[in-house]
């Protein structure tokens, strides 16, 4: 029995409600709340290696859980597992530079 797949269309609403404030509508880490944050929120267009499962863990448990920004909050208590999978699917679909395959395809 595998994990449920995320639905990017459903994830868009979750992203809009919970993520745009820091990551911005275009996923560049320039949302309205980002000005006062250090380190800055992730820019999803930058090329970095991150698997889908790691992204699920970051959203669920917060950035510090994966040795990333301690500013990234955990959403495990606020969102269902399916909502988290949906928002990760949306990010991976909308901002494709977050996929490790893009790193190797350009070589």
**pLDDT value of position 50:** 83
Write down the pTM of the prediction.
0.85
Question: Taking 50 as the threshold, does the pLDDT of residue 40 lie above it?
Answer: yes
Least confident of 7-16, 24-33, 35-44, 48-57: 48-57
Domains by residue range for the chain, with CATH = 8-19+48-105 (1.10.760)
Question: Taking 60 as the threshold, does the pLDDT of residue 27 lie above it?
Answer: yes
Please list the alpha-helical segments (H only) found in the chain.
8-18, 20-23, 52-61, 81-94, 100-105
Q: What does the alpha-carbon distance between residue 12 and residue 37 come to, in Å, rounded to a whole number?
A: 23
**pLDDT value of position 37:** 95
């Amino acid at each position: 029995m595998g994990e449920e797949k995320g639905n990017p269309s459903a994830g868009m609403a979750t992203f809009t409600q919970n993520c745009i404030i820091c990551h911005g509508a275009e996923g560049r880490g320039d949302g309205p709340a980002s000005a006062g944050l250090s380190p800055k929120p992730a820019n999803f267009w930058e090329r970095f290696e991150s698997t889908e499962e790691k992204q699920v863990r970051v959203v669920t448990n917060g950035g510090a859980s994966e040795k990333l920004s301690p500013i990234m909050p955990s959403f495990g208590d606020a969102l269902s597992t399916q909502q988290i999978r949906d928002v990760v699917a949306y990010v991976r679909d909308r901002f494709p530079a977050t996929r490790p395959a893009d790193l190797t395809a350009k070589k």
